[in-house]
Amino acid sequence: MNHHKYLLMMGLPLALMSGCAQNATAEATGDQTHPGAQAEPAPTQLSPTQLSPTQPAEPAGSPAPGAMGAHALSTRLSFSSDPSVIPVGRPVTWTLKITDAKTGAPANDFETEMTKKMHLIVVKNDLSWFNHIHPTLGQNGTFVVTATLPKPGTYKLYADYTLKGRGQQVPQYELATDGGQPTPSTVALVPDKMQGPWLVNKFTSHPDSNPEARGGAAYQVAMMPMPMPLKAGQNTMLHFQIRDAGGKPIKDLQPYLGAMGHCVILSGDTTKYLHSHPMAAGMEHDMSKMGAMDMSQMNEAPAPKSGGPDVMFHTNFPAAGLYKVWGQFQHRGQIITASFVVNVAPGAPASASSQGASDESKPHTH
Encode pLDDT of 157-184 as tens digits: 999 999 999 999 999 999 999 999 999 9
CA distance 330 to 161: 22
CA distance 48 to 171: 8
HSE of 3, CA atoms in CB hemisphere, 13 A: 15
Given a cut of 70, whether residue 228 has pLDDT beyond it is: yes
User: Nearest 5 degrees, angle CA 48-CA 352-CA 127?
Assistant: 45
Cα-to-chain-centroid distance, residue 240: 16
Which of 106, 118, 108, 105 shows the shortest CA–CA distance to 171?
118
Given a cut of 90, whether residue 318 has pLDDT beyond it is: yes
- Mapped onto helix, strand or coil, the DSSP state of residue 295 is helix
What does pTM read for this prediction? 0.78
Q: What are phi and psi of 285, to 5 degrees?
A: -125, 115
pLDDT band at 13 (very low <50, low <70, confident <90, very high): very low
Q: How many Cβ atoms from other residues are within 10 Å of residue 105's Cβ?
A: 10
Give the pLDDT confidence score for residue 348 in this predicted structure. Answer: 66
Given a cut of 60, whether residue 53 has pLDDT beyond it is: no
Span 197-219, mean pLDDT? 97
Q: What phi-psi label fits residue 114: left (phi over 0), alpha (psi between -120 and 50 degrees) or beta?
A: left
What is the per-residue DSSP string for 39-61? P-SS---BPPP---TTS------
Burial of 43 per CB tally in 10 Å (0-12, 13-18, 19+): middle
Q: Are 143 and 95 in contact (CB under 8 A)?
A: yes
**CA distances for 287 relative to 7, 63, 189, 234, 260, angstroms:** 11, 20, 27, 11, 22
106 contact partners, CB below 8 Å, separation of at least 6: 97, 98, 99, 100, 140, 141, 142
Hey, what domains does the chain have and what are their CATH numbers? 5-21+188-354 (2.60.40.1220)
Given a cut of 50, whether residue 54 has pLDDT beyond it is: no
Q: Are 243 and 222 in contact (CB under 8 A)?
A: yes
Which of 241, 247, 243 shows the shortest CA–CA distance to 278?
241
Give the pLDDT confidence score for residue 171 in this predicted structure. Answer: 97
Query: In this predicted model, what pLDDT tens digit does every residue of 254-289 receive, in sequence order?
Result: 999 999 999 999 999 999 999 998 976 543 344 445
Query: In this predicted model, what pLDDT tens digit does every residue of 91-137 receive, in sequence order?
Result: 999 999 999 999 999 999 999 999 999 999 999 999 999 999 999 99
Give the pLDDT confidence score for residue 125 in this predicted structure. Answer: 97
Which of 259, 336, 263 shows the shortest CA–CA distance to 23?
263
CA distance 242 to 222: 7
Which of 360, 340, 260, 244 shows the shortest CA–CA distance to 305?
260
Of 3-17, 110-124, 305-319, the range with the lowest mean pLDDT is: 3-17
* Terminal-residue alpha carbon distance, the chain: 32
Given a cut of 60, whether residue 292 has pLDDT beyond it is: no
Give the pLDDT confidence score for residue 304 in this predicted structure. Answer: 77
pLDDT band at 20 (very low <50, low <70, confident <90, very high): very low
Q: Are 13 and 280 in contact (CB under 8 A)?
A: no
Give the pLDDT confidence score for residue 104 in this predicted structure. Answer: 97
Q: Which of 28-32, 37-41, 355-359: highest mean pLDDT?
A: 355-359
Given a cut of 50, whether residue 5 has pLDDT beyond it is: no
Give the pLDDT confidence score for residue 237 in this predicted structure. Answer: 97
CA distance 219 to 243: 6
**Structure-model confidence comparison of residues 363 and 94, the more confident one:** 94
Burial of 353 per CB tally in 10 Å (0-12, 13-18, 19+): middle
**Averaged confidence pLDDT in the chain:** 78
198 contact partners, CB below 8 Å, separation of at least 6: 222, 223, 224, 241
Q: Are 236 and 226 in contact (CB under 8 A)?
A: yes
Q: Determine how β-strand 172-176 pairs with β-strand 199-204.
A: unpaired
